Amino acid sequence: MATTYSIIIPAYNEEKWLSQTFSSLKEAMSTLDVSGEIVVVDNNSTDQTARIAKQHNAQVVFEPINQISRARNAGAKVAQGRYFIFMDADTFISPALLQTALKNLSSGICCGGGGIVRVDNSMQPLARKAINLWNWISIKFGFAAGCFIYCLREGFAAVGGFSEKVYASEEIWFSRKLRSWGKKRHMAFQIIPSPPVTTSIRKLEWFSPFQLLIMAFVLTFFPFLLRFRFPCSFWYHRPKNT
């Protein structure tokens, strides 16, 4: 049976999360009558990420340069499906969300999209307001959150995949390019409003509110810094024992 869809997961030292993510994925995939695959991109991990992924029968690709966009693109290069779904290793999707994404892509009038975000833990009021603001922006302006992006293989190839010029926000640039590509073909870029995608809040726990505010200020008003890894430490730095 031909592979209909590919779920692509970039992973750097994700041994603590992968088993939970695979459990969620396999439950969702078992509800479909089409064939799918999971591609895990080992982004130069130093733990058991690759071994755990292989234990769960995922195809594992190695990408030596630590950059999220490179890892996503490396997974797409080997993926066999007509439809691509990009997820983070600390993200869980429901059967209904996977079904809706694939239904949209198979409709002929959708080039891709994303989903609204729900976190897996209780949050401080300020952080919750930030998530709610992002969900509003996502629906209003058509930006997919990096933890869940779905698209046509054809569209992905046409726009050149994720930009490797930046170390963060690659999902924003990709959303804009894919939305433009789809519009010319009378295809929508659809943010799925329900059910939400559930993701971890661990990054919010690793940094103080002051650090997060400084990073947001710098990257908002000096976007050229997205081209360098150090200013994007929110996406790459990981405290020990996490």
**Does residue 233 register a pLDDT over 90?**
no
| The pLDDT value given to residue 209 | 57
- What's residue 189's pLDDT? 98
Q: Is 225 exposed, middle or buried (0-12, 13-18, 19+ CB in 10 A)?
A: middle
Paired tokens of 14: 């994700």
How many domains are contained in the chain?
1
The predicted pLDDT at position 14 comes to 92
- Residues sharing a CB contact under 8 Å with residue 23, sequence separation 6 or more, in sequence order: none
At 26-64, the pLDDT tens digits run 999 999 999 999 999 999 999 999 999 999 999 999 999
Helices (H), 59-169: 68-78, 95-106, 125-141, 153-158
210 pLDDT higher than 60:
no
Domain presence at residue 237:
no
Closest CA to 5 of 96, 112, 79: 79
Helix (H, G, I), strand (E, B) or coil at 192: strand
How many other CB atoms are there within 10 angstroms of residue 208's CB atom? 8
Backbone angles phi, psi at 67, to 5 degrees: -155, 125
pLDDT for position 169: 80
For residue 241, being part of any structural domain is answered with no
Q: What is the CATH number of the domain that holds 155?
A: 3.90.550.10
In tens, the pLDDT along 55-79 reads 999 999 999 999 999 999 999 999 9
The conformational region for residue 167 under phi > 0 = left, psi -120 to 50 = alpha, else beta, is alpha
**What whole-number percentage of the chain has pLDDT above 70?**
79
The pLDDT of residue 114: 97
d(CA 145, CA 68): 13
Q: Identify the three-state secondary structure at position 230.
A: helix
CA-to-CA distance for 174 and 171, rounded, in angstroms? 5
Q: Judge whether residue 193 has pLDDT over 80.
A: yes
Q: Please check whether residue 212 lies inside any domain of the structure.
A: no
Query: Residue 79 falls within a domain, yes or no?
Result: yes
CA distance 133 to 125: 12
217 is a domain residue: no
The pTM of this model reads 0.87
Q: What is the SS3 assignment for 117-128?
A: EEECCCCCHHHH
pLDDT per residue over 83-142, tens digit each? 999 999 999 999 999 999 999 999 999 999 999 988 766 666 666 777 788 889 899 999
Token pair listed for 77:
């290069």
Based on C-alpha coordinates, what's the Rg of the chain? 17
Peptide bond into 95 cis (omega under 30): no
Domain span holding position 49:
3-205
Q: Is residue 228 part of a domain?
A: no
In a domain, 74, yes or no: yes
Rounded CA separation 147/68 (Å):
11
pLDDT of residue 146: 87
The average pLDDT across 218-236 equals: 63
Residue 192 lies in a domain: yes
pLDDT digits (tens, 9 = 90+) for 145-178: 989 999 999 999 999 999 999 767 899 999 999 9
